[in-house]
Structure 1
Amino acid sequence: MKILALLGRILFSLIFIFSGLNHITGAGADYAAKAGVPAAGFLVPFAGLLALVGGLSVLLGYKVKYGAWLIVIFLIPVSIAMHNFWAMKDPMVAQMQMAMFMKNVSILGGALLLAYFGAGPYSIDNGKG
């Protein structure tokens, strides 16, 4: 059952690798600026770098505790700034943003578990298994 830790790390990391690559190019900076994020042209690519490095760390099982903290650092401000459902006037938009916020809270929980427990078996951090 050791393979489950590896599978979990792979699946967990994918969202950060793909969105990180997307954000590094500046994609979404206009959306973030409209949402009130200051210096979105800098912060969106920087957030993408945090997500990408954290995701690759988790995927490879290398320095996973640090990578998980990068993901935590990415998720907290992004969740508050971009999914602030409590400020939405349109009930449908508020519901969608609440779902996105809660998704991020759930992922944040997974990142905190990785920050505490580390990579597990089949990782660079712990050798082969």
Structure 2
Amino acid sequence: MDLVAFVGRVLFSLLFLGAAFGHFKDSAAMTEYAKAKNVPLAGPSVLGSGVLLVLGGLSVLLGVWADLGSLLLFVFLVPAAVLFHDFWKQTDPATKQIEQVMFSKNIALAGASLVFFTGFATGAIGWTLTGPLL
């Protein structure tokens, strides 16, 4: 079972590490998008969220204080869902549907990050380099 959990961690983490790369590589475009969504301090928020994604993604992937890493991803996902995927404000049906799917994806990933947190905190998920921090 540890192997299956590890494969799940790799797949889960790759999504966030890829997103982090985009936060740094395309920070100007992402900052403009954040400004359009009325995110306060858009530039620093883009870079800060990129840091959350790197730290959380690597933590879960490598199993270094992975409980904390799981919570960092949760802290990224819930505000991102609410701020960037506000389907309830959309009037165009196609846009509304896309935003609702993206909102649901982020909330589901937030739930998965809490499941990972619980697994890491209780030691139920093996193959980690450190024990839980919290």
1:81 maps to 2:86? no
Aligned residues: 126
Deviation of residue 36 (structure 1)?
1.3
Indicate if the aligned counterparts of 1:16 and 1:51 stay in contact, CA closer than 8 A.
Answer: yes
Runs (4 or more) in structure 1 with deviation over 4 Å come to: none
Please say if residues 63 and 125 of structure 1, whose CA atoms lie closer than 8 Å, have aligned partners that are also in contact: yes
Note the C-alpha offset of 1:110.
0.8
Structure 1, residues 5-48: CA drift from partner, whole Å, max 9, x if none? 10000000011111112213424111111111121111011011
1:103 aligned to 2:108? no
Give the Cα separation in 2 of the matches to 1:83 and 1:52: 22
Show the 5 A alignment for 1:17-36. Answer: 17-25=17-25, 26=27, 27-36=29-38
| Structure 2 gap segments, 5+ residues each | none
CA distance in 2, matches of 1:67, 1:57: 5
Residue 58 of structure 1 contacts residue 64 of structure 1 at CA under 8 Å; is this kept in 2?
A: yes
RMSD (CA atoms): 1.3
What letter is aligned with 1:124? L
1:42 aligned to which of 32, 41, 44 = 44
Identity %: 36
TM-score, reference length from structure 1:
0.92
Amino acid at match of 2:31: A
1:9 aligned partner = 9
1:19 maps to amino acid? A
* 1:104 Cα deviation from its structure 2 partner: 0.6
2:20 alignment partner AA: G
Q: Residue 58 of structure 1 is aligned with which of 60, 66, 74?
A: 60
Tell me the amino acid that sits aligned with residue 7 of structure 2.
Answer: L
Task: Give the CA deviation at 1:85.
Answer: 0.4
Unaligned runs of 5+ residues in structure 1 are none
SS at match of 1:28: helix
2:126 matches 1:124 = no
